[in-house]
Amino acid sequence: MSFAPARPLEQLYATRSSIKWRRYPADVLPVFVAEMDFDVEPAILERVAQTLQHSDTGYLDSAGPLAPAFADFARASWGWDVDPADIHLATDVTVGVVEALRLALPAEGGRVVLTPPVYPPFFEMVEEADAIAVTVPLLEDHDWSLDLAGIEAAFSAGADAMLLCNPQNPTGRCHSSETLQALAALASRYGVFVVSDEVHAPLAHPGTRFLPFAPIAREAGCRAVTVTSASKAWNLAALKCAVIVAADEWSASLLTALPQELAARTSILGLHANVAALSCVGWRDDLVGLLVENYRLLEAELAAHAPSVRPVRPDAGYLAWLDFRDAGLGDDPAAVLIEEGRVALNSGLAFGEPGRGFARINLACNPSTVIEAVRRIAATVSARSTAALAG
Ligand SMILES: Cc1ncc(COP(=O)(O)O)c(C=O)c1O
């Protein structure tokens, strides 16, 4: 392993000021928001420190060195050939998604397809783009895949755009080649613009093939952009830098109309951190190895101590979707777990209606934290079932 275990929890509480460590009192174990407990990779630290040492702390006006760095990473990782000229900066992934939607949607009342359970801010991003969300839930009984028939119905009813989450947060699902090809064909047939959020893609687990949507879209004649960043896979959210990449000529031309200010609103420290991160694949590989071990540990601990809680095995990333519907904690298990178990997960309800009875856990932590989180979950479930029997 080239990266060290995370520092002890007391130290993280004492030194970090982010939501993860400030939202709840210190007796609540935080396994909610998508931030890692691990230290930032040393080469990234060095590059950011150097940028500061050079007082290179002004404004950006283009993707500069990040464009070729991203193009190289995309080719080496996924065989995706990106023209560096098609790469634009955005403050972060969420801003990139909103700006792309604003360009493609009608001035008012655009309709954007979302596939819940999905990253909660997607709902807000659609609102920010003055559009209306049209939800087509994932198919739970088909391993949380996209509901292509439902998506076609939404497209034919007049949707303007779709916000794809690939890999999907919270299920960690990498959508299959067949699914993405079928989606691109539908989007092409109905003239629907697709924005693909691929921020978790660098963390695909061994044995899984992550497929970027852009080359599939281009092949199918579908209009699409990808928005991504090193912000998740290398834990750099604070540094505020993402890229918007056009998949096809129409979208490349669309992106030339992005507000010029968007580059200036992106952090120069973030740009250098992203460039450094994209060459830190050894650290990333070690991290993925640990995440897979943590997921196995989660499965084993739940099976042993809280078998009514069923995890969904992710294909990528460090988040796991937990099904509490048979655990007796009601519609919002995360609320009960914080109150009674002193462990903070994300509430499933925030991910849309299909999240009722679910919660999301974050595994970017030491194995001891996974064990402690399950201990608290198990104690809460068992106390509730004892109370229910007594009552
Ligand atoms: C699917 C998805 N998109 C975007 C983000 C946020 O990325 P950023 O901080 O670069 O806006 C997250 C964070 O967890 C996410 O899971």
Q: Is 168 in the pocket of ligand 1 (CB under 6 A)?
A: no
Q: Is 198 in the pocket of ligand 1 (CB under 6 A)?
A: no
Tokens 């299920």, residue located: 171
How far is 164 from 36, CA to CA, in rounded Å? 24
Query: Which ligand 1 atom minimizes the distance to the CA of 165?
Result: 1
Residues above pLDDT 90, as percent of the chain: 96
Mean pLDDT of 275-280: 97
Identify which has the larger pLDDT, 4 or 132.
Answer: 132
pLDDT score recorded for residue 126: 98
Q: Is 229 in the pocket of ligand 1 (CB under 6 A)?
A: yes
Give alpha helix (H) positions in the chain.
9-15, 19-22, 42-53, 66-78, 93-104, 121-128, 148-156, 177-190, 213-220, 249-255, 261-264, 268-277, 281-305, 333-336, 367-390
Phi, psi of 357 (to 5 degrees): 85, 5
Query: 235: pLDDT confidence band, cut at 50, 70 and 90?
Result: very high
pLDDT in tens, 74-128: 999 999 999 999 999 999 999 999 999 999 999 888 999 999 999 999 999 999 9
Q: Is 243 in the pocket of ligand 1 (CB under 6 A)?
A: no
Q: Which residues pair with 131 in a beta bridge?
A: 110
Q: Name which residue sits closest to atom 4 of ligand 1, judged by CA.
A: 93
Identify which has the larger pLDDT, 244 or 391.
Answer: 244
Considering only CA atoms, give the Rg of the chain.
21
4: pLDDT strictly greater than 60: yes
pLDDT in tens, 26-52: 999 999 999 999 999 999 999 999 999
How far is 158 from 168, CA to CA, in rounded Å? 24
Average pLDDT, the chain: 97
Comparing C-alpha atoms, which of 358, 374, 362 is closest to residue 301? 374
Query: Which ligand 1 atom minimizes the distance to the CA of 118?
Result: 1
Mean pLDDT of 170-177: 98
Residues above pLDDT 70, as percent of the chain: 99
For residue 16, give every residue at least 6 positions away whose Cβ sits within 8 Å of its Cβ, in sequence order, or none.
none
3 state SS of 108: coil
| Ligand 1 pocket test, candidate residues 175, 213, 232, 262, most atoms within 8 A of CB | 232
| DSSP class of 145 | B
Q: Name which residue sits closest to atom 14 of ligand 1, judged by CA.
A: 34
3: pLDDT strictly greater than 80: no
| Ligand 1 pocket test, candidate residues 119, 122, 125, most atoms within 8 A of CB | 119
Q: Is 94 in the pocket of ligand 1 (CB under 6 A)?
A: yes
Q: Is 34 in the pocket of ligand 1 (CB under 6 A)?
A: yes
Q: Is 20 in the pocket of ligand 1 (CB under 6 A)?
A: no
1: pLDDT strictly greater than 70: no
pLDDT score recorded for residue 298: 99
- Identify the weakest region by mean pLDDT among 41-45, 99-103, 169-173, 386-390: 386-390
Query: 385: pLDDT confidence band, cut at 50, 70 and 90?
Result: confident
How far is 243 from 93, CA to CA, in rounded Å? 7
Q: Is 197 in the pocket of ligand 1 (CB under 6 A)?
A: yes
Query: Which ligand 1 atom minimizes the distance to the CA of 34?
Result: 14
Give 212 Cα–ligand 1 centroid separation in angstroms.
Answer: 16
For residues 317 and 200, the answer to whether their CB atoms sit within 8 Å is yes
Q: Is 118 in the pocket of ligand 1 (CB under 6 A)?
A: no
* Side chain identity at residue 124, one-letter code: E
2: pLDDT strictly greater than 80: no
How far is 247 from 244, CA to CA, in rounded Å? 10
